[in-house]
Amino acid sequence: MGELRDKVCVITGGAGSIGCETARLFLEEGGRVVLVDLREADLQRAAHSLGAADLVCVAADVSRAEDTQRYLDQAVAAFGKIDVLFSNAGNAGVIAPIAEYPDDVFDSVYAVHVKGAYHACKHGLPRMNDGGSIIITSSVAAFRGDEGVYAYITAKHAQIGLMRCVAKEAAHRRIRVNTLHPGPVDNAFQAGIENSLGTIVGRDATQLFNELIPLGRHATPREIARSALYLASSQSSFTTGSTLRVDGGMSV
Ligand SMILES: NC(=O)c1ccc[n+]([C@@H]2O[C@H](COP(=O)([O-])OP(=O)(O)OC[C@H]3O[C@@H](n4cnc5c(N)ncnc54)[C@H](O)[C@@H]3O)[C@@H](O)[C@H]2O)c1
């Protein structure tokens, strides 16, 4: 308890599974949390489930620069300068052969994961306290290629390049920048991907993934949140520019 006492923590995708569970853990650890997500109703549902006083919600689209500045400004207005910036919002895209891959889906997936993280770093750094932490949720998908998953896998790879550059620029302020790489998580986001994939491969994709994961199962959202806490807190004080895999060995 108390790993993030009075730390100001911004979490994008905060109404979703990993974001909301991370908010729960950060609040338990004494953090002041700003949840960012697309829809006000989803944010209110998440806030209700968290039931915390030290919580502010901002509806914003992370792929838009002006929305990013607004959610960051609201965070600073509510709690002061930011200590932990968790760029975690994501969308899955579709699975399709390259020649048929829809351009609008590619653009939208890239906009959320890559532009979203870029805007967060660009506008977030000037609003952060020295000694803070930026965490970008990438994926096990950053370490492999799978046919058909063109937008998501490309975007998840690109986040590492962004992270490495920002880690170097931010180091003189002792701000650490890392990517977090979950494997398949037992939640609705992954279930949606597995439903689409199951239709394409003609078998239960949840089981298929479990066979690909040496530890033999999906992660819980709490396991991902605990890794985010490690990167957010001083427990990882000498870790920057790293790619933390929380994937049960799937990328080995
Ligand atoms: N679920 C998994 O198995 C898994 C595995 C590896 C990586 N990830 C990554 O983890 C992150 C969180 O995913 P999750 O599993 O919690 O899924 P989720 O769908 O529960 O949460 C994602 C959240 O991001 C929000 N979002 C999407 N586009 C947005 C935008 N433009 N602006 C603001 N918010 C937006 C959604 O509304 C949603 O609440 C994503 O980046 C995802 O790619 C998930």
Report DSSP letters for 179-227, one per residue. Answer: EEEE--BSSHHHHHHHHHHHHHHTS-HHHHHHHHSTT-SPBPHHHHHHH
- 101 touches ligand 1 (CB under 6 Å): no
Kindly report which listed range (49-63, 107-121, 152-166) carries the lowest average pLDDT score: 49-63
Ligand 1 centroid from CA 160, angstroms: 17
Q: Is 159 in the pocket of ligand 1 (CB under 6 A)?
A: no
> How far, in Å, is the centroid of ligand 1 from the Cα of 109?
11
Does the pLDDT at position 57 exceed 90? yes
For residue 139, indicate whether it is catalytic.
Answer: yes
> What's the predicted TM-score (pTM) here?
0.98
| Residue tagged active-site, from 87, 152, 230, 236 | 152
Q: Which pLDDT belongs to residue 54?
A: 84
Question: Which atom of ligand 1 is nearest to 219's Cα?
Answer: 3
Q: Is 109 in the pocket of ligand 1 (CB under 6 A)?
A: no
Residue closest via CA to ligand 1's atom 15 equals: 189
**What average pLDDT does the segment 116-138 reach?**
98
Q: How many percent of the chain have pLDDT more than 90?
A: 97
Atom of ligand 1 nearest to the CA of 113: 41
Average pLDDT, the chain: 97
In the beta sheet, which residues pair with residue 56?
A: 34
Mean pLDDT of 29-38: 98
Alpha helices in 56-187 (DSSP H): 65-79, 103-110, 116-124, 150-170
Rounded to the nearest angstrom, the distance between the alpha carbon of 21 and the centre of ligand 1 is: 12
CA 170 to ligand 1 center in whole angstroms: 25
| Residue range 178-235, pLDDT digits in tens | 999 999 999 999 999 999 999 999 999 999 999 999 999 999 999 999 999 999 999 9
pLDDT at 52: 79
Residue with CA closest to ligand 1 atom 8: 139
156 is catalytic: yes
| Distance from the alpha carbon of residue 18 to the mean position of ligand 1, in angstroms | 7
Render pLDDT for 134-185 as a digit per residue (tens, 0 to 9).
999 999 999 999 999 999 999 999 999 999 999 999 999 999 999 999 999 9
**Pairing between strand 243-246 and 82-87?**
unpaired
Q: What is the DSSP string of 120-137?
A: HHHHHGGGEEEEEEEEEE
Kindly name the residue from 110, 133, 150, 156 that is annotated as catalytic.
156
| pLDDT at residue 97 tops 90 | yes
